[in-house]
Amino acid sequence: MALRELSSLEKYLGLKKPNKYSTQGDKKVPVLQNNNGPPMLGLATIACHLAKEAKRPELLGDTAESRAVVQQWLEYRVTKLDSCTKEDIKFILKDLNLYLQDKVYLAGNRFTVADTLMYYGIHPLIVDLAIQEKEQYVNVTRWFDHIQHYPGVRHHLPPVVVLKNRIYTSRHH
């Protein structure tokens, strides 16, 4: 899964030559084979490396604060999101929904790799949501729909249908 994400990311970044990857351990942590150095380990680490390689540092945040926020959500993706249980899903969506209440993107006011990786990671959760639940977590759905339509991001993932009109009469979210 992680390897497909990295390959999609490379495409988004417009990197001409795809890198060579392998995986390590039973958690299948991605490894980037480096020609001139030791291999690089970890999804978030490699994603940041790719952004730098493509000379797009703004994708990692343009201020010290937003850089920290980007790293926070990357970490969230590879820890909480990737190993969440069924019970955790509710909390994750609730927290994110509250967080995204007043934000267009996860970090700062621009698109970053945090949005990409969180989108990839949360996709399987959103796919399983019923229409009512998507309406309940309206901010997550809004952000998700925005990112999945962002040019060059979606690639390997099927689109999730998000209805523009509310079907269920609105209760307070």
Nearer to other proteins, 106 or 147 (CB): 106
- Cα separation, 30 vs 20, whole angstroms: 10
Residues in contact with other proteins, counted by CB under 8 A, come to a total of: 31
Under rule CB under 8 A, residue 50 binds other proteins: no
Stretch that binds other proteins, among 9-17, 79-87, 116-124, 152-160 (CB under 8 A): 79-87
Among 1, 19, 21, 49, the residue binding other proteins under the rule CB under 8 A is 49
Strand, coil or helix: what is 171? coil
- Shortest distance in whole angstroms from residue 133 CB to other proteins: 16
Q: 51-70: which residues touch other proteins (CB under 8 A)?
A: 52, 64-65, 67-69
Under rule CB under 8 A, residue 99 binds other proteins: yes
- Cα separation, 157 vs 117, whole angstroms: 12
Among 148, 129, 59, smallest CA distance to 90 is for 129
DSSP structure string for 63-126: SHHHHHHHHHHHHHIIIIITT--HHHHHHHHHHHHHHGGG-SSSSTTS--HHHHHHHHHHHHHH
Binding interface with other proteins (CB under 8 A)? 27, 29, 40-45, 48-49, 52, 64-65, 67-69, 71-72, 75-76, 78-79, 83, 85, 91, 94-96, 98-99, 101
